[in-house]
Amino acid sequence: MTQEKLGIAPKSRVLKVPAMTLDGPKKMIYVKLEGTIVRHATVPGQSQLGRPIRGAKKFLEDLAAINLEVIIVYHSHYSAGTGRGTEEVIESWLKQHELPFDRVHVGMNRPVAYVGDQAVTCTPQKKDQGGGFWDDSKEFEYAVMEIERLVGIRP
């Protein structure tokens, strides 16, 4: 008997294949969207994302050049800000601004902190005394150097 006749839904035949290099699977890197790539991420409207932070494009290009699988991460406190529609909006925005990435991950309940021996700090968005913001693209350069060290490119 077939699965359909038994009332069992057939398993998906779609296999997700990890990004590969000649040396095996690419190493993954998660890059937070809000505060790293864009100043404020108020998805679901693409127009609400604004422009990328100065230096973000080169940063993502540098990560791609290291041959990493770049996963853009967005966490929302609101269920309306999660789901496939949100991923599509973010993917479209990334493509519109020609920002390289492999995939987008959207989830709820943004963590308070990321803890681990492979954490890399990158805070290109700085707040001045007047309450305004300015972009420090040097932060991206420091982050790339640390990532290169973690993947074994730099001592």
Give the residue, 45 or 99, on which the prediction is more confident: 99
Domain of 53, in residue numbers: 23-149
Residue 7 forms part of a structural domain: no
As a whole number, the mean pLDDT across the chain is 76
What is the CB neighbour count within 10 angstroms for residue 52? 22
Counting residues of the chain whose pLDDT is more than 90, the rounded percentage is 26
Counting residues of the chain whose pLDDT is more than 70, the rounded percentage is 68
Confidence of residue 12 (pLDDT cuts 50, 70, 90): very low
pLDDT in tens, 19-40: 555 566 788 999 989 888 987 6
Residue 18 forms part of a structural domain: no
For the chain, what is the domain count? 1
User: For residue 105, what is the domain's CATH number?
Assistant: 3.40.50.1000
Q: What pLDDT sits at residue 62? A: 94
Interval 126-139 mean pLDDT: 76
Residue 17 forms part of a structural domain: no
Using a 10 angstrom Cβ sphere, with 0-12 exposed, 13-18 middle and 19 or more buried, the burial of residue 9 is exposed
pTM for this one? Answer: 0.71
* Beta strand extents in the chain (DSSP E only): 20-21, 24-25, 27-32, 68-76, 103-108, 125-127, 133-135
Interval 1-7 mean pLDDT: 45
Residue 91 forms part of a structural domain: yes
Interval 114-119 mean pLDDT: 76
